[in-house]
Every structure is written in C-alpha cells, then in structure tokens.
Chains A and B, each alone.
Chain A
Amino acid sequence: VTKLGAFVRENERPGRRIAELAFDAVVRPRAATGLVLPRLEARARAAGASEALLARAAQLTETLGVRSSIATYRLLAAVASGNKSAMTPLLNKFKPDIPDQLMWDALELGGYDVEQVRHDDAADLVAFFEPEIRRGFVNDGFSQVFEWLLTNQRVPNESPVLRPLLEALVSSAVDLRQKTEAGDQPFASSTLHAVASDLIDPSEPARFFFSGASLLAAAYPDVARARFGNIEFATFRSVDRIVGDLPSEFTLVSRRGNHVVIEHSPTSAQATVVCFDKDGDRTSHGDGRYTRWHTPFDVVVHEFDLGTFPGPSDVDRYLDERYGQWRTPPFFYDAVLDAPNTTIDRSLDGLLFVYSKMRETFATGRRHYADEWAAIMRDRFGIEYSNFVPRSVPRKVLATPLTEREVDGRPIHLVIAAFDDVDAEFIGWLTEQKVDGSFLVAGVVGHRLDGDANERLALANSLALVDHATLIESATDLDEPIPGFVVTSSTTHPSVEMPATA
C-alpha cells in the first residue's frame, strides 16, 4: 500500500498502474499466456494483421510483459475494424524506432492504400497521411506516423506541408489548455448577482462594491476569468466593522489581515471582502502576507449587464493594475506571482508564506514557481536559494551560432583585425566602425587550431562594442564570414595582412 501510495503521488496516470497491479495479482501472467493470448492473436490474424505485426505483438511478452502483448493484439483488431483513434496507441507499442515494414503494415491494416504512396516523395507522404497525423496531434499531442515520416522517410525541412502541421500540433495543445482552464470557472454570473444583491445596498455604494474577479465578470462577462479568483467585493470600512455588521444572509467563515471570507446562505457561495486602506497617493489591501496596491479611486455606480452595482470609477485601470494582461487571459496565471500590483510583506508572516511556497515547490519540482519564490525570498528577505535553480549565461559568453533574432534586421558591418593589442587607440578605431544601428562583427584573423587565435576571438567577443566575433582563417572565409548571413560592409584594420586563400 505504501508503494502504491508513493506511485500515485509520483505518477501522472496512477489509475493505469493500479489496473496493472490488479491484473498481475488476479489474472496471473502465465494463465493469460496460455489462455488469453492465443485467442487474441487469432482474432487479430483474422482481422488482417500481418505476420510481422503479430510477431512483434508476441515479442512484447518477453520485453514488456504479457499485458503489452494483450493490449497490442486488441489494438490490432481495433485498427483493422476502422477505429482510427487506436492507431497511435498501436504504434506506441512499436516505439522507439519503428521499422518501415511494421509501419507500412500497420497503416495498411488501418485502411490506408499504402501501395498508392509507398514510393512517393516524402512530402507527398506527409500530405497523404495528414488526417492520420492531425488526429494524433489533437487526440494524443503527437503522431507516431509523423515522427516516422520525419526520421525514416526524411521529410525535408523546407517541405511546404511540414510547418502547417506543426502549427496544428501547437494550436491543438493551446486549444486544449484553453478548454481545461476555462472549465474551471469559479462562479456563475447568476450566483454573483444573488450574492451581490444581498450584500450591496444601492443607497450606500461605498459600503460594499465590486472588485477583483467580480468586477471583471460584471464589466467584461466575455473574458475568461477562471484563474482570476473567486467572488470578491471591497469596502473602505474596517474588518471589525464588516464582521460586526454582516447582513443576515451571510455568515463569517474566516479572516486574515484585511481579508474577510463570508458565506452567502441562500447560495452557499463564498466571497472574499477586501478592506482597503487609504494611504496618501495609494490605496491597498492585504492578508498580512502580501499587499495589493492600487491608485486611489472613487466608487461609482455602473450599469453592468449583470445589474446596477458600484465599483471603482476607472474599471480598466483597476483591472490593469490588478491583473496585468487580463484582456487575453494567460495560461497558468498565479494570483500572487502574476499580479503586477502585489508585493510580499516584509514581515514574519510574509517570510513564512514565501518560505512555505519555496520549500513546497522545491520539494515537488514545480520549477517555474520554485524559481519565482526563490527570487522573492532573495530580493525581499535577503535569503539566497535561487542559485539552486539553473541559470543561463549572457549570449556573448557562448559560442552558439548567430541567430536572425539577434541581428534583428540590422546591417552587418565586419571589422577584420588581429585583436591582439587592444589599447585606447584600437578602441578609438573600433568605435569609429560602430555606425549607429549596425551590427558589428569582429573578424579575428587566425587559425582554428591556434590557441592564441581562439584567445583573441574570445577577447574580441568580450568587448562591449562587438556584437559577435568570428574567426577568419583565409581570404575565402570572406565570401561568407558568418554562415547564413549577408555582410553589408567591412573594414580591415591597417595592421592586418589577410592570409592567403586556402
């Protein structure tokens, strides 16, 4: 049970493993081998599976266990019966490198007229199998057929069918995440209306008014707000006054700092009331661990589709401050880390809050959050653990190839020099070469096997004026000093004699 518990915690699909353990405990692999496998094999054979496919299915008993063979025979029968969604799981059984014969047989079993395309151009193959590939992308997030075409059939990078398919893969994943996040709407508009109607007195708009996700839902009902929080109202009154003066439809659930959670009895919905403090040129509320800051605002009555309710006068500014990019809600929004107006309090509670988040995310491997919380711990409390999260190094330290994104459309100016004596005069000359808006490439004269040349190359790269450095071994290198890029202009330092053409 302990092992199973650990497995459930650590794995993404514990249900499947539980089923496997139950199978092993109850059915017994040996019994399955003698009784079940022959029947399933016969059924797959009758459905049209080739000898190669059947042999691979049988072979899986030795490598992955009898369950894999059983599943494969069933998938063969399913594919043969026209079940398109069974194709990817079937091909997964043949990973990682699927032999051509096996792939052709599987596709033929799935109803594809492989004789028609077997000898076609690789790009045509992609076009032919596009429905199968797209189905894999949408259903499974990948397509074994696509992988096989890329690696075994060598689909060229420039194939016109390639990119639309990859874009389809990415956009299907984006759509799926969008659906997942949108499915978690924390409250319905009707609930919000019911709660607000019982809490807010229209004659006293400043007593309670719409804020947070409630304001977003009321003002922009079409914006997905799943990650922007629960029902929220605000007030300029103190917590004690709120607690002591709740309308009869509400009960107090809990309070923390300037935040009070109440429950609306008729709907059982919970809402948070945040109590704003005014402080000169800003106003804020917090729960003792973090504070959300706003530009001071007046409360006015708005005519929302939901009804007539009070809220901050400049709704858009409030939402910009609270949520940042709320108009196109981003995935993975975190109510504290991603709220631009929120700071962690420099207090014991603030530190304990950050510490608990940092330790939890380090322990569970939630990388993005570990990085963020460690940075907050460092910057707010001076306790440094961010160095345990991998960090990159500046681009110019690296020898990686130049990219178009770095050049960013600027004209490339090549300066050819030895870079062996960088004094004030040389820096002056180099400065003259750095024309405004140009991308300065240092062409360092020397040979790749000469350690001194590589030292000078690194030296050139470490100059602030130089955007990129490359080695110039011979005059022929000047034909294409930076592979893939066009050099607009070049200058050679007077001291340099170019090496002869190799």
Chain B
Amino acid sequence: MSTNPVTLINRSLRSPAARLASLELPAALAGQSNRIAATHGTESAEAYVRFFEELLDGSPLPTYADVDIVALLESDDQRDALAALIKRSIPSADSFDDLETMNAMLFRLARLDHDDAAVTEFVNAGMQHTLNERTGTFQSREKHFNYHDARDALLGCKRIFDAAGKRFFLDRGTLLGCVREGGFIASDYDIDVGIFADEITLDEVKALFAGTEFELTQDFEFKVGVASPTGVQIDFFLTTRERGYFLSKGFRSIHNWYFTPFELMEYPFLGERFLIPATYEKHLDENYGNWRDPAIFYDLSYNEPCVAYGRGPEAISYLSKRLARALRRGWRYYSVAAANALARSFDLDVTDRVPVEVAPTVAPISEPAWAPRPIIVLDEFQSYGPRHRRVIESALSLTTDVRLDIVAREDHDLADRLTVAGSIDRVTSVARAQLTGEMRLDIDALVADHPQAIVLARHLDTMLSSTDVDALIAAGCDVAFFDESTVALNIVDGRIVARTGEFID
C-alpha cells in the first residue's frame, strides 16, 4: 500500500467508483466498482480499486493471499485485460512479493491447477528464496565468525595438540559443517571439539594453551573454552566413555549429550586430516536428526535428539523458565516443547493446556500426495550381523521406508530367513526377492515402487548384470553394494553409496 500521506488522504476522501474512474485502465476493467460492491461486497470493491491504484503507481501490492481480485471478474474480456496488464507490469516489479502476487494471479487467470509444472516451479522458487534469506539467521549474525578466522583457529589448535601428542575430534556443529559442507556451517559461531576423558583432562587442555596466543574464556566442570587471537571460540567437551554410551555435558549439566559409542577416523578438512567419529552419519543422526538438509530452525534444548536433561534443580528450573517465557510471549512451539520436556523428564505436566491433535471423525481421508521413496536392502539374511545393522540403520536415516528383500534360491530355510529379517526393528516390510529364470534379480519387480536405491550384499553382485544396473539407474534408482567393511550408506553427489572406512584405535 502507498505510504504517501497525501495519497492516502486523497483516496480516503473519494469513492471507489471515482478513484477507479481516474485510473487509466482498459475498458473491460474500468467502471466495475459498483457492480463488485453489489455482488461481492464493499470491501471487495475497495480491494479491487486499491489493487489497480497500487499496480499502476508501483506501490507494493496486497498479496494474492489477502485479496482475490480474479474472483471479482466475470468475463473473459476482463480476465484477458487483467492478464495483459499484469504481464506489462511484471518487468518493472522490483519486489519478490509483488512478482509472486502477479504470477499467482496469472496462474488463476490461466486456470492452471495445483499440479501444473509452472505452479510447482513457482512454489520451489519462492521457497528457495525464503530458505536463502533464512539460512543462517536463527543465530545472531553478530556472533558469526568468518571462514578464515575459524580455519586459522582450528589449525592452530591442531598444531598445539599434535605437538603434545594428544588428540581431539570434531564434534557437533563443527562436525556437521565438516561432513555436510566441507567447511563451517553458515549459522555457526564457535568451534566444538571433543576430547576423551581417559586421554586428557580439562586441566591438561588448559595447560596446553597456557602461554600461547589462545586465551582461556570458559572454565567449567565439563567443558573449557579458548578464544583465538581473532576471537574465534573453541569449546572442548570432555567426553567420558561410559558403559554403553559416551557422555559429554554442558554448562551446569543442564544439557547432557549421550552418544552411541564410536571409534575415530581421519577425515580431510581444511587441507589437513582431522579426527571425527568413524560412524559420523549415526553420530549426526543422534545429534541433529535430519542433519542432511540445512535446518532453518534450531534450538539446543529441543532439537538435539541425543540431549537429556540433567537431574539437578538447574535443569528443571531452566525448562520451567523457558515454558514461562514462551507462554508469556505467545510462542507456541517453545511452549509445547518445554511443556513436553517438563512432563517427560520431570513429571511436571501442563500439556493439557496446549492443543492436542484430535482425530477427524467426518473429514474424508484422502490418499496423501506424497510418500517417502523406499530403499530396498537385499541379502540372504541367514543371520543378522553388524554389517546389516549399519546399512539398515543408515538407510532408515535416509528414508522411513526401508524394505528387506531376502535372496533365497531355494525354499528349505526361507522361514528361518524371514524370521531373522523380520526381527529387525523399524523396517517397513520383509519379503522374498523376486528372481528371474536365470536366477537374477527381477528388475521390473524392484523398480515397481520407485525406490531411491537398492542396496545389495556384495557377494550377491552376480545377480545383477551391468545392463540391470544401467536399467536401475535409468529408472532413477541408485545401486550400492555392501560388505563387512561398510560403515554406512551415504549420499555423495546426490547418489546413495555404501561408505567404507578405517577406524583408529
């Protein structure tokens, strides 16, 4: 809407019909305000006039969601005239929102449907625009470090540790940036590394940095922090190897990170080789959930699945304060998240005051327009071992639909194999793989459900010819082979592959 006060006063003093008459509009669109007021209401007539005033004087347009101008038209002549006017205006539009409004109106004028390719492209372009604007803004920009300062700080830290014969591993956001971005994530503001408590103490870490260009900035019970000369903060999380899990703690033990135990491996980063958890995909699954896409929302307390709250009064007080703050401010997500956390961890339950999902009793349930694409894992499944577990679990972090196909040339122990494969948690289905007369995998049956990948035990690779592999790839299905050395499935250049790795004791 125009912000010029003279314009606003002038408009408020004149009737919509008079204002419309003063605009240079095609005949089909002029003189419509009285008709619209009678058939669609006074507010619609006002919106109609205002839309053309703002379109013609270049003011920001009311969004297509607020005003339905197209519905006010009653003839093809009017629709054609509006389409022509909008097409003339698009080149001079300088705001993304105005372009969106005009394009959305063109879709409606052209009577496109929701599944038209142009409409999907419109949505994707708008979301990409939003994501680009949003990525990196969930933390204060003021805290962000730049790549060069962070790299120098981490390399300096590595030199100090290497000289002392000690080791650390990349952890949390730094690990995520290393693996996903090959750098630091846009929204990060410090460097996180882990150290094993049975290899080095926090006092020893402090001693390593004493007399160096780094300055000690945090000295807590379970974590110390140093700052590089350019102010980049490096946090050292003391990681203890407990019975069945690795544990590190934050300030006052309010947040505790529980990880499945892991070995370390070397990984190229910043032109050097750094240690990271060898099962980094699982580690990041536990740390961040769906870490493969850059999330535009993040909250340490609610978005790190492996975090458990400490049992001390500080933790319950922390959550209570967050709930109180969120309720006061009217923040729904944070109210619900804090209420759930208090109920789950401390039996302080006010969840009855936040909306709960009530199952519809009358609305027609239609088939969802979207379903996850499956990953099909194929092996003989005479027994279930670590290689299966690693492959299946990492497949489950890529899709919620993982199917197991049992390769059995004969029937005699099929029931046992079904028992073994059927004992694995969270898989969608277990079935016998369909074979051709030449005892090869039936490609048509495999691609029938449009899988994103088939993952085959390497010792069975003769069951796929190179022609079969080409056919699968042509059908948009990646092909990967796994064996004892497979650590996880991973995505490289947009394709699912089996990753092998070497651990360092």
Is the pairing of A and B real? yes
Instruction: Evaluate whether A427 and B420 lie within 8 angstroms (CB atoms) in the complex, with A331-B327, A363-B130, A459-B384 already known.
Output: yes
Question: Is the C-beta of A141 less than 8 angstroms from some C-beta in chain B?
Answer: yes
Question: Is the C-beta of B14 less than 8 angstroms from some C-beta in chain A?
Answer: no
Question: Is the C-beta of A368 less than 8 angstroms from some C-beta in chain B?
Answer: yes
User: Are A332 and B384 in contact, with the CB atoms below 8 A?
Assistant: no
Contact with A along B321-359 (1 / 0, CB 8 A): 101110111101111100000101100101011111111
Complex partner residue of A331 from B307, B312, B335, B370, CB under 8 angstroms: B335
Question: Is the C-beta of B147 less than 8 angstroms from some C-beta in chain A?
Answer: no
A294 to chain B minimum Cβ distance, whole angstroms, is 6
User: Are B244 and A166 in contact, with the CB atoms below 8 A?
Assistant: no
Instruction: Evaluate whether A359 and B126 lie within 8 angstroms (CB atoms) in the complex, with A403-B344, A422-B383, A448-B241 already known.
Output: yes
Output the nearest chain B residue to A283 by Cβ-Cβ distance: B362
Query: A409 to chain B: which residues have CB within 8 Å?
Result: none
Query: B57 to chain A: which residues have CB within 8 Å?
Result: none
Interface residues of A in 138-180 (CB under 8 A from B): 141-142, 146-147, 150-151, 155-157, 159, 162-163, 166-167, 169-174, 176-177, 180
User: Are B361 and A340 in contact, with the CB atoms below 8 A?
Assistant: yes
Instruction: Evaluate whether A162 and B313 lie within 8 angstroms (CB atoms) in the complex, with A331-B327, A462-B392, A471-B244 already known.
Output: yes
Q: What is the number of contacts between chain A and chain B, taking CB atoms within 8 Å?
A: 361
User: Are A388 and B245 in contact, with the CB atoms below 8 A?
Assistant: no
Question: Is the C-beta of B230 less than 8 angstroms from some C-beta in chain A?
Answer: no
Interface residues of A in 311-363 (CB under 8 A from B): 320-321, 324-325, 328, 330-334, 338, 340-343, 346-353, 355-359, 362-363
Spell out B's residues near A (CB within 8 Å): 37-44, 47, 63-65, 68, 71, 104, 107-108, 112-116, 119-120, 123-124, 126-127, 130-131, 133-134, 137-138, 241-246, 252, 258-263, 282, 285-286, 288-290, 292-298, 303, 305-308, 311-314, 316-317, 320-321, 323-325, 327-330, 332-336, 342, 344-345, 348, 350, 352-364, 366, 368-370, 382-386, 389, 392-393, 396-397, 413, 415-417, 419-420, 422-426, 503, 505
Most buried by B among A253, A347, A449: A253
User: Are A397 and B286 in contact, with the CB atoms below 8 A?
Assistant: yes
Contact with B along A401-429 (1 / 0, CB 8 A): 10101000000000000000111100110
9-residue interface stretch from A74-82, A112-120, A450-458, A491-499: A450-458
User: Are A325 and B423 in contact, with the CB atoms below 8 A?
Assistant: no
B309 to chain A minimum Cβ distance, whole angstroms, is 10
Given A174-B353, A398-B258; 20 other pairs, CB 8 A cutoff: A150-B314, A172-B324, A252-B40, A253-B44, A261-B43, A356-B63, A370-B296, A397-B282, A399-B286, A422-B385, A423-B416, A448-B243, A448-B244, A448-B261, A457-B261, A458-B260, A462-B389, A462-B393, A464-B423, A469-B244
User: Are A470 and B244 in contact, with the CB atoms below 8 A?
Assistant: yes
Output the nearest chain B residue to A405 by Cβ-Cβ distance: B344
Interface residues of A in 365-394 (CB under 8 A from B): 365-371, 377-385, 387-394
Output the nearest chain B residue to A176 by Cβ-Cβ distance: B328
Q: What separation, in Å, do the CA atoms of A389 and B262 have in the docked complex?
A: 27
Most buried by A among B68, B303, B316: B68
Query: A28 to chain B: which residues have CB within 8 Å?
Result: none
A257 to chain B minimum Cβ distance, whole angstroms, is 9
User: Are B389 and A458 in contact, with the CB atoms below 8 A?
Assistant: yes
Most buried by B among A180, A389, A444: A389
User: Are B313 and A173 in contact, with the CB atoms below 8 A?
Assistant: no
Question: Is the C-beta of A255 less than 8 angstroms from some C-beta in chain B?
Answer: yes
Q: What separation, in Å, do the CA atoms of A172 and B323 have in the docked complex?
A: 11
Output the nearest chain A residue to B351 by Cβ-Cβ distance: A330
Complex partner residue of A293 from B258, B292, B363, CB under 8 angstroms: B363
B385 to chain A minimum Cβ distance, whole angstroms, is 7
Spell out A's residues near B (CB within 8 Å): 12, 137, 141-142, 146-147, 150-151, 155-157, 159, 162-163, 166-167, 169-174, 176-177, 180, 243, 251-256, 260-263, 282, 288, 293-295, 320-321, 324-325, 328, 330-334, 338, 340-343, 346-353, 355-359, 362-363, 365-371, 377-385, 387-394, 396-401, 403, 405, 421-424, 427-428, 430, 444, 448-449, 451, 454-459, 462-466, 469-471, 473, 477
User: Are B321 and A141 in contact, with the CB atoms below 8 A?
Assistant: yes
Output the nearest chain A residue to B298 by Cβ-Cβ distance: A390
Query: A159 to chain B: which residues have CB within 8 Å?
Result: 313
Instruction: Evaluate whether A381 and B355 lie within 8 angstroms (CB atoms) in the complex, with A365-B138, A448-B241 already known.
Output: no
